[in-house]
């Protein structure tokens, strides 16, 4: 069904393109175009191409029989400035006269001329008689009145040899001369072609306005921004068709040349920001934020240039904008390809539409800068692009409805086949029962391995018991000394008390870690998540080791946002923070530093504890978190360790659905980073 729908859309879109094919026509040679053998009735109107007589800086009188002054041959269509290398006297701004002798077939008594693009003031004469003016061509900027339009001019002829004289003045625009096509034919033929062109224009405008209004209504119902941006793009494209095909609504406004040019350029330049906003609203994760901002700001610069600068300046911006738009299209293609790789909805269709638009834009850009000579097709490829996107967005809008219908059908199917499902589930339960029996036997066969694991744990408890006994015995000796020698000097007394406090802290941490490790080994370590303020935990942990920090004269820097809250078990997370800052203190030499920071990233709070200590040798880094290894190292003052702190911290972080990494280099300090789910304030 989808393939059929897309096929219909392509047929509708390509229908207006049926008359864009180029046909072989006679060429003008040295100012003469021989059409005596050309059949206008069979072949229709034709585009004049070839060599015109060209008189630079001369406003010739069509009544003159003999033209004086220097004459060269100029290719039409084309800008006279393109010949500046061959004829240095030609400048971008100036005036000139074009002349062509037309040898018409017998019996042709009327003639119509259709002008495509002349970005200059111009006047048209047949056999010395003026038939129309586009503005007024003067010999300087003050005499020249510019008007951009593509009219159909008509005149009568009574001879086969007809002189076509065109006066052109340009003192503003980047493009000088007759840069678009000139078509001639019978009046009836040209008017019929104009009627067909208007039909295509009205068809495109009607289709674009329907799409634009439809998606604007969807946006008002459900505020999804990509609908709004898509609707605005359709409105812009409708205006683009109105201006390119010069529908009567534009002619009736009687706009001057500068206003028409500004409106034309702004219409083109507004596509870049709206396309960017639409693609980013559809694929926000894949669209790089920095590139998005750069595109928007560059687009604003282009728009501002058109608004505030004269046409002599902003007309030069168009080739650069085309290049900019091609780069944007490549960014869009990258974003959509990433979405395709990640399985985003409709990404292949998005890619197809973008490639079509890219091809049309490239064709028109190369045509604009005279690299190729083809028909402008960007508004047709844009229409195809918008049709594809309209289909995608309409399909996205109906997705929930189709999903709901699918669920309803599944419920109905389950209801109608309930007995079969019960039998099937019974069979599955029997299979599960057999599997459980097999697992039971497997568990019995692994009992020996479990006993060995318990023995290993008992051995570890014995080691820990020794580590706990040592600081307690030291405290007991210190207390006996204080009791037996009441006259001990104050300095020695303070030293003993500090050592007792340090030993008690080690014992407290060790016992706490031991209890947590014991629960983890029995599978009873569970987290009860609550909202926890990170700053509060860090302050509590630093207060516990305050004495040790002062003894070592360590500098502690805390860059933690008070608004950072975590969703975790508070007591467990406190153990983690306490272990990490204790380790940082223990392995940092005197007058070192400890840096604690936090940041938010993708719904998590990332906590980093960095010290300037002795670091961790590379040979033991991989064993620190290995449950089968037991690594214990001494601090910078010989502080004893149990080897459990990092293991327990790692297990607690995982129980709280977080992660933990260790980065260290021997002699250059250690950085431990953990990530925990962020909680709302």
Question: pLDDT at residue 358 above 60?
Answer: yes
Higher-confidence residue: 347 or 230? 230
Question: pLDDT at residue 159 above 70?
Answer: yes
Q: Based on the fold, state whether residues 670 and 561 are members of the same structural domain.
A: yes
According to the model, what pLDDT value does residue 19 have?
A: 44
According to the model, what pLDDT value does residue 7 have?
A: 36
Q: Based on the fold, state whether residues 238 and 91 are members of the same structural domain.
A: no
> In the structure, what pLDDT confidence band is assigned to residue 596 with cuts at 50, 70 and 90?
very high
Mean pLDDT in residue range 359-375: 66
Q: Copy the structure tokens of residue 76.
A: 């039409």
Tell me the CATH number at 60.
Answer: 2.60.120.260
Q: What does the alpha-carbon distance between residue 646 and residue 667 come to, in Å, rounded to a whole number?
A: 19
Residue 355 lies in a domain: yes
Residue 407 lies in a domain: no
Most confident listed range (16-25, 116-125, 269-278): 269-278
Tell me the CATH number at 669.
Answer: 3.30.565.10
Residue 3 lies in a domain: no
What pTM does this model have?
A: 0.51
According to the model, what pLDDT value does residue 273 have?
A: 93
Quick check: 156 and 104 in contact, CB under 8 A?
A: no
Q: Residue 241: which of 118, 355, 380 has the closest Cα?
A: 380
pLDDT tens track for 527-578: 788 898 889 888 888 887 787 788 888 888 989 888 899 998 888 888 888 8
In percent, how much of the chain has pLDDT > 90?
12
Parallel, antiparallel, or unpaired: how do β-strands 555-559 and 129-134 relate? Answer: unpaired
Q: What does the alpha-carbon distance between residue 28 and residue 471 come to, in Å, rounded to a whole number?
A: 107
Residue 119 lies in a domain: yes
Q: Based on the fold, state whether residues 519 and 625 are members of the same structural domain.
A: yes
Beta strands in 199-299 (DSSP E): none
Q: Residue 538: which of 468, 471, 605 has the closest Cα?
A: 605
Residue 429 lies in a domain: no
Cβ neighbour number for residue 200 with a 10 Å cutoff:
19
Query: Which of 358, 374, 400 is at the close of a domain?
Result: 400
- Mean pLDDT lowest for which of 128-142, 356-370, 570-584, 661-675? 356-370
Quick check: 95 and 137 in contact, CB under 8 A?
A: yes
Q: Residue 121: which of 62, 174, 56, 168 has the closest Cα?
A: 168
According to the model, what pLDDT value does residue 375 have?
A: 67
Query: Which of 143, 164, 185 is at the close of a domain?
Result: 185
pLDDT tens track for 599-658: 999 889 999 999 988 888 877 777 676 655 556 665 555 555 555 678 888 888 888 889
Quick check: 615 and 664 in contact, CB under 8 A?
A: yes
According to the model, what pLDDT value does residue 318 have?
A: 84
The tally of domains found in the chain comes to 3
Cα atoms in the Cβ-side hemisphere of radius 13 Å centred on 81: 16
According to the model, what pLDDT value does residue 607 have?
A: 92
Q: Based on the fold, state whether residues 492 and 612 are members of the same structural domain.
A: yes
pLDDT tens track for 472-500: 665 676 676 677 777 777 776 776 676 67
Quick check: 235 and 212 in contact, CB under 8 A?
A: yes
pLDDT tens track for 29-57: 999 999 888 888 888 888 888 999 999 98
According to the model, what pLDDT value does residue 597 have?
A: 92
Quick check: 62 and 125 in contact, CB under 8 A?
A: yes
Query: Which of 185, 218, 249 is at the close of a domain?
Result: 185
Q: Based on the fold, state whether residues 335 and 396 are members of the same structural domain.
A: yes
pLDDT tens track for 410-453: 777 767 776 666 777 778 888 887 888 888 777 777 776 676 56
Q: Based on the fold, state whether residues 40 and 124 are members of the same structural domain.
A: yes
Mean pLDDT in residue range 379-390: 70
According to the model, what pLDDT value does residue 106 have?
A: 83
Residue 412 lies in a domain: no
> In the structure, what pLDDT confidence band is assigned to residue 17 with cuts at 50, 70 and 90?
very low
Quick check: 182 and 144 in contact, CB under 8 A?
A: no
According to the model, what pLDDT value does residue 369 have?
A: 58
Q: Based on the fold, state whether residues 207 and 304 are members of the same structural domain.
A: yes
DSSP class of residue 145?
Answer: B
Q: Based on the fold, state whether residues 209 and 139 are members of the same structural domain.
A: no
Cβ neighbour number for residue 1 with a 10 Å cutoff:
5
Domain hosting residue 502, numbered range: 454-679
Most confident listed range (349-358, 449-458, 582-591): 582-591
Residue 596 lies in a domain: yes
User: Which ranges in 522-569 belong to alpha helices (H)?
Assistant: 534-544, 546-552
According to the model, what pLDDT value does residue 467 have?
A: 52
Mean pLDDT in residue range 194-220: 83
In percent, how much of the chain has pLDDT > 70?
73
Q: What does the alpha-carbon distance between residue 464 and residue 643 come to, in Å, rounded to a whole number?
A: 10
* Mean pLDDT computed over every residue of the chain: 78
Q: Based on the fold, state whether residues 206 and 179 are members of the same structural domain.
A: no
Q: What does the alpha-carbon distance between residue 79 and residue 84 come to, in Å, rounded to a whole number?
A: 10
* N-terminal to C-terminal alpha carbon distance within the chain: 49
Quick check: 187 and 126 in contact, CB under 8 A?
A: no
Cα atoms in the Cβ-side hemisphere of radius 13 Å centred on 609: 25
Mean pLDDT in residue range 332-358: 77
Q: Based on the fold, state whether residues 268 and 313 are members of the same structural domain.
A: yes
Q: Based on the fold, state whether residues 300 and 332 are members of the same structural domain.
A: yes
Residue 302 lies in a domain: yes
Q: What does the alpha-carbon distance between residue 92 and residue 81 come to, in Å, rounded to a whole number?
A: 5
Backbone angles phi, psi at 19, to 5 degrees: -100, 15
According to the model, what pLDDT value does residue 16 have?
A: 43
- Helices and strands (H, E) in the chain, number of each type: 21, 18
Q: Based on the fold, state whether residues 103 and 174 are members of the same structural domain.
A: yes
> In the structure, what pLDDT confidence band is assigned to residue 2 with cuts at 50, 70 and 90?
very low
Contacts of residue 85, Cβ cutoff 8 Å, sequence gap at least 6? none
> In the structure, what pLDDT confidence band is assigned to residue 373 with cuts at 50, 70 and 90?
low
Q: Residue 647: which of 544, 576, 541 has the closest Cα?
A: 576
């Amino acid at each position: 069904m989808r393939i059929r729908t897309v096929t219909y859309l392509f047929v509708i879109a390509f229908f207006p393109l049926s008359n864009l094919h180029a046909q072989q026509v006679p060429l003008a040679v040295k100012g003469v175009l021989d059409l005596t053998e050309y059949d206008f009735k069979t072949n229709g109107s034709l585009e004049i191409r070839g060599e015109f007589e060209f008189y630079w800086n001369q406003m010739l009188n069509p009544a003159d029989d003999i033209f004086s002054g220097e004459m060269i041959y100029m290719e039409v269509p084309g800008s006279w400035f393109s010949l500046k290398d061959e004829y240095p006297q030609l400048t971008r701004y100036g005036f000139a006269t074009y002349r062509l002798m037309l040898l018409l077939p017998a019996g042709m008594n009327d003639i119509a001329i259709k002008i495509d693009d002349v970005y200059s003031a111009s006047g048209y004469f047949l056999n010395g008689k003026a038939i129309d003016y586009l503005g007024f061509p003067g010999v300087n900027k003050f005499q020249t009145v510019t008007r951009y339009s593509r009219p159909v001019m008509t005149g009568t002829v009574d001879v086969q040899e007809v002189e076509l004289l065109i006066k052109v003045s340009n003192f503003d625009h980047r493009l000088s001369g007759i840069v678009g096509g000139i078509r001639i034919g019978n009046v009836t033929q040209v008017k019929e072609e104009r009627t067909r062109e208007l039909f295509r224009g009205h068809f495109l405008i009607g289709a674009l306005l329907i799409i634009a209004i439809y998606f604007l209504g969807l946006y008002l119902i459900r505020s999804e921004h990509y609908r709004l941006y898509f609707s605005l793009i359709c409105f812009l494209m409708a205006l683009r068709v109105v201006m390119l095909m010069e529908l009567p609504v534009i002619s009736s406004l009687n706009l001057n040349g500068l206003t028409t040019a500004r409106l034309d350029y702004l219409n083109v330049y507004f596509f870049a920001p709206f396309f960017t906003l639409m693609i980013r609203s559809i694929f926000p994760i894949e669209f790089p934020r920095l590139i998005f901002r750069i595109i928007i700001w560059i687009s604003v610069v282009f728009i501002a240039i058109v608004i505030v600068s004269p046409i002599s300046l902003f007309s030069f911006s168009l080739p650069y904008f085309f290049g900019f738009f091609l780069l944007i299209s490549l960014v869009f293609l990258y974003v959509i390809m990433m979405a395709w790789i990640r399985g985003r909805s409709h990404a292949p269709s998005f890619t197809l539409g973008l490639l079509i638009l890219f091809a049309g834009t490239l064709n028109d850009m190369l045509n604009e800068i005279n690299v190729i000579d083809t028909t402008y097709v960007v508004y047709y490829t844009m229409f195809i692009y918008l049709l594809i996107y309209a289909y995608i967005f309409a399909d996205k809008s109906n997705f929930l409805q189709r999903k709901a219908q699918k669920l309803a059908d599944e419920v109905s199917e389950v209801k109608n086949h309930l007995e079969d499902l019960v039998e099937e589930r019974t069979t599955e339960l029997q299979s599960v029962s057999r599997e459980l029996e097999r697992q039971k036997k497997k568990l019995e066969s692994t009992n020996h391995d479990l006993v060995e694991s318990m023995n290993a744990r008992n051995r570890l408890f014995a080691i820990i018991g020794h580590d706990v006994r040592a600081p307690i015995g030291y405290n007991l000796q210190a207390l006996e000394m204080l009791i037996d020698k009441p006259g001990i000097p104050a300095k020695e007394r303070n030293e003993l008390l500090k050592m007792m406090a340090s030993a008690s802290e080690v014992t407290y941490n060790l016992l706490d870690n031991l209890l947590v490790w014991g629960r983890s080994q029995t599978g009873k370590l569970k987290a009860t998540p609550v909202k926890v303020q990170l700053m509060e935990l860090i302050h509590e942990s630093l207060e516990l080791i305050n004495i040790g920090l002062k003894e070592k004269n360590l500098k502690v820097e805390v860059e933690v946002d008070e608004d950072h809250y975590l969703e975790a078990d508070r007591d467990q997370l406190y153990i983690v923070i306490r272990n990490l800052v204790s380790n940082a203190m223990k392995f940092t030499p005197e007058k070192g530093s400890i840096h604690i920071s936090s940041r938010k990233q993708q719904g998590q709070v990332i906590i980093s504890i960095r010290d300037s200590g002795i670091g961790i040798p590379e040979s033991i880094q991989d064993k620190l978190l290995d449950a089968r290894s037991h690594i214990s190292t001494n601090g910078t003052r010989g502080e004893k360790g149990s080897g459990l702190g990092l293991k327990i911290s790692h297990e607690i972080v995982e129980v709280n659905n977080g992660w933990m990494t260790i980065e260290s280099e021997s002699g250059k300090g250690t950085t431990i980073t953990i990530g925990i789910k962020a909680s709302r304030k």
